[in-house]
Structure 1
Amino acid sequence: MTKNNSAWTGMLPVADTALAVTDTGGPGIPVIYLNGHTATQGYWRRVLAELGPGWRHITYDMRARGKSKRSANYSFEANLADVDAVLAARGVDLALPVGWSYGAFVAAHWASRNPDRAIGAVMVDGAQPYDWLDDAIEQRIRKLFGRMRWLLPLLRPTGLTPRMSAEQIANSNIEVGRIARERELGPVLDAITVPARYVLASGASFGSKGDEQEIIRASVTQVVERNPNIKISAKVPSNHGAILKKDFRAVADAVREVGALDR
């Protein structure tokens, strides 16, 4: 499963950037945690504590997030390729990707594209196929981050926002909307041949209105009906932004569920 079981924390050079990586090492199932769009690896601390030392936890900050360096490329494909770069650097052949929000899309794509390397996948309130992006919502996203343009530099020292421009963040969110379309994401999910689990939040998320988010989440029902490898592990009461803080036990349970199927 692995060529290197040692613990390591440091900066990993990748292309034109460097990623801040933490690997607890050990003989347990390697779990690689994939962050939300503007989040850092620290968001997973409660999940890691709940799972404990019986697992090998690999966390990292995506490009320009946390302690990682800036890049000229913030595309989805670049972030997806970084998963391979981190695993290769740590000598890990087989892994269980666990992603929240943006990271859930990365986890789904990685598991779909790497059936021989993925132990399974856990998607936390993300990777839901739905055509939510239209011209009006695209303009809403651009307007939202345009208004935040002055605030972003003030928040960067706190780690709450990435070292990306407002335009770059908006473009990345819009790219996710395109990736999330049923015709794009549906075939990716249908092609998953390893055990995969969803943990879904409730209510609204940052930037959504009314029941928009719940309508999007409802699309997962059709996903699990089409693919027997994918199931909904839990629907939790916390909202999108608070799920890793308030319902970390449900996320850990989903990881355990998938991990148990590998044994």
Structure 2
Amino acid sequence: MIRTAHVNGIDLAYREEGDPASPTMVLLHGRTADHNHWNLYTRRFAERFHVVAPDLRGHGASGHPATYALPDMAEDIVALLRALGVEQAVLIGHSLGGAVAYHLAMNHPDLVSVLILEDPPAPLPIDRPPLEDDSPMMVETERQIVSPDPAWAEGLKRVTAPTLVLSGGPSSHVDAAPLAELIPGAKLVTIDAGHLIHSAAPKEFSAAVEEFLEG
């Protein structure tokens, strides 16, 4: 079911599936996508979890405000969880959603039971060609990806949840592997399927996630 919550001064659309009495799982999509990014998995996960799949600010049916600071995007999800009465959740985030997830996990460690990061950029400076998209969301998020606040890498030491980092391997334009070195005790699994692991290699993605959740 698609719902809307007013949090942090914006409307945040989200899909909700499963029993609200079950443990909560939050699915965070990548940049330019929306909650439909997870359609292969939402109902499957809802067999065991209370699944919440929001549209991040600037995406889908959610509000498009003037600012897109990654910590603010994480606070949107914190506010949504509090509005839903959720005290702790499994977080799965892809790409930009993974960056939002690790900001949430380092700033609110008690809210996260398990952290699964699918091919997100590490908060380390990178060099890549300029974007052709000049929309505010793309411009501001890209600036933070290529030139992140140096405090963010240090902040990852505050993550306490068991963490799985999934790398898309050499086929991906993102190097997620360094992220696993920045998060205490993080496990790195490489699936050479490119940036969209969950859609390009669904069996391998599902197996890695299920194994980590069961472990």
State whether TM-score is above 0.5: yes
Q: Which residue of 1 aligns with 2:144?
A: 175
Partner of 2:48: 54
Q: State the aligned residue count.
A: 214
The match for 2:169 is 202
1:237–1:50 CA distance, 2 compared to 1 (3 A):
farther
Please tell me the residue identity of whatever aligns with 1:145: D
Which of 161, 168, 176 is 1:217 aligned to?
A: 176
Q: Does 2:16 correspond to 1:23? A: yes
User: CA 1:65/1:217 → structure 2, altered by over 3 Å: closer, same or farther?
Assistant: closer
Name the CA distance, whole Å, in 1 between partners of 2:80 and 2:205. Answer: 22
After TM superposition, the structure 1 = structure 2 runs for residues 84-123 of structure 1, keeping only pairs within 5 Å, are: 84-123=78-117
Does 2:165 match 1:145? no
Q: Distance in 1 between matches of 2:164 and 2:91?
A: 11
Partners of 2:110 and 2:136 lie apart in 1 by: 37
Distance 1:172 1:54, change over 3 A: same
Deviation per CA, 1:182-202, whole angstroms, max 9, x where unpaired? x43432322222200011113
**Alpha-carbon distance in structure 1 between the residues aligned to 2:180 and 2:10:** 38
Structure 2 letter corresponding to 1:231: K
* SS at 1:237 equivalent: coil
Root-mean-square deviation (Å): 2.4
User: Is the Cα–Cα contact under 8 Å of residues 125 and 199 in structure 1 kept in the other structure?
Assistant: yes
In 2, Cα distance between equivalents of 1:22 and 1:202: 30
Give the Cα separation in 2 of the matches to 1:247 and 1:107: 22
Q: What is the CA distance between 1:10 and its match in structure 2?
A: 1.4
Greater C-alpha radius of gyration: 1
Cα distance in structure 2, aligned partners of 1:104 and 1:89: 22
Q: Which amino acid aligns with 2:93?
A: G
**Alpha-carbon distance, 1:28 to partner:** 2.6
Q: Which moved more, 1:80-89 or 1:47-56?
A: 47-56
C-alpha contact 1:197 1:258 (8 A) present in aligned 2: yes
Deviation at 1:221, TM superposition (A): 5.7
Match of 2:190 in 1: 235
Q: Give the gaps of 5 or more residues in structure 1.
A: 1-7, 147-165
Q: 1:191 to 1:250 in 2, by over 3 A?
A: farther
Q: What is the rounded CA distance, in whole Å, between the counterparts of 2:58 and 2:143 in structure 1?
A: 18
**TM-aligned CA deviation for residue 129 of structure 1:** 4.2
Quick check: 100-109 or 11-20, which moved more? 11-20
Contact 1:19 1:61 (C-alpha < 8 Å) held by counterparts: yes
Letter in 2 for 1:260: E
| Letter in structure 2 aligned against 1:21 | Y
Give the deviation of 1:254 after TM superposition: 4.1
Q: Structure 2 vs 1, CA of residues 48 and 101 (structure 1 numbering), >3 Å: closer, same or farther? A: same
Name the aligned partner's letter for residue 189 of structure 1. Answer: L
Question: Are 1:260 and 2:214 counterparts?
Answer: yes
TM-score (norm 1): 0.72
- Give the Cα separation in 2 of the matches to 1:95 and 1:167: 30
Q: Relative contact order: is structure 1 or structure 2 higher (C-alpha 8 Å, sep ≥ 6)?
A: 1
- Runs of at least 4 residues off by over 6 Å: none
- Asked if 1 retains the 8 angstrom alpha-carbon contact of 2:194 and 2:200, the reply is no
Considering fraction of residues, name the structure with more strand.
2
CA distance, structure 2, for counterparts of residue 82 and residue 200 of structure 1: 26
Following the alignment from structure 2 to structure 1, what is the Cα–Cα distance between the partners of residues 167 and 41?
Answer: 15
Match of 1:5 in 2: none
